[in-house]
Chain A
Amino acid sequence: AAGVIQSPRHLIKEKRETATLKCYPIPRHDTVYWYQQGPGQDPQFLISFYEKMQSDKGSIPDRFSAQQFSDYHSELNMSSLELGDSALYFCASSARQGLVPSFGQGTRLTVV
């Protein structure tokens, strides 16, 4: 069965650079969530989209932005990267804001 696809799997950027993470939800899933998991930390909710509209916002820095496109894929844009942005970034998707989101394999971002 198709799962949530995230790209790239690994990304290395320098401080103050920009990064774009992509998420392709499970087919027919219309809700996307983004989470950030720092080293030794629990996943923290960043932002979510339902039917291409932002539906909720968590602890997402102002330097980050995200959107969901007409094909339901989502992109997380991160600017002015800081060392502390190094983390695993997970995308999850669900159908009609379903109760059990399915997670992608994550993008490991390293800022040097």
Chain B
Amino acid sequence: DQQVKQNSPSLSVQEGRISILNCDYTNSMFDYFLWYKKYPAEGPTFLISISSIKDKNEDGRFTVFLNKSAKHLSLHIVPSQPGDSAVYFCAASATSGGSNYKLTFGKGTLLTVNP
């Protein structure tokens, strides 16, 4: 049972355009969401996060939007750069009830930004 779903295994965009990566979740206990970026042969690197009390969080070129009613979040990268090419993982945690914030990951989306 995949509680965090990234339905697009891959995405290809042109340099300078917007990249939109999507993520859906099923567990209503999730209240904290993170995006990690992963290059081959490296561990995941934290990118940006959002709490369920917000619907938007922005950090430079990266913006995460959360739609709680739809249990959907998206990561927008604008403008996209070739160095953004990597696998992007959506992750979620349930911070109430002392669950110690273990992360549940989606399967990842491979983003390729073409020069």
Pair A101/B43 contact, Cβ less than 8 Å:
no
Q: How far, in angstroms, from A6 to B106 measured CA to CA in the complex? A: 23
> Which residues of A sit under 8 angstroms from B36, Cβ to Cβ?
103
Pair A42/B105 contact, Cβ less than 8 Å:
yes
B44: nearest chain-A partner, CB-CB = A103
> Which residues of A sit under 8 angstroms from B104, Cβ to Cβ?
45
Q: Give the number of residues in B that approach A within 8 Å (Cβ atoms).
A: 24
Majority DSSP secondary structure for residues of B touching A: loop
Q: How far apart are B7's CB and chain A's nearest CB, in angstroms?
A: 13
> Which residues of B sit under 8 angstroms from A106, Cβ to Cβ?
42-43
Q: How far apart are B91's CB and chain A's nearest CB, in angstroms?
A: 8
In this complex, the interface size class of chain A, counting residues with CB under 8 Å from chain B, is: 20 to 34
Tell yes or no: A71 within 8 A of B by CB.
Answer: no
Pair B32/A99 contact, Cβ less than 8 Å:
yes
Binds B, one of A13-21, A61-69, A79-87, A90-98: A90-98
Tell yes or no: A41 within 8 A of B by CB.
Answer: yes
Binds A, one of B11-19, B54-62, B68-76, B93-101: B93-101
- Which residues of chain A have a CB within 8 Å of any CB of chain B? 4, 6, 31, 33, 35, 41-45, 48, 50, 55-56, 58, 90, 92, 94, 97-106
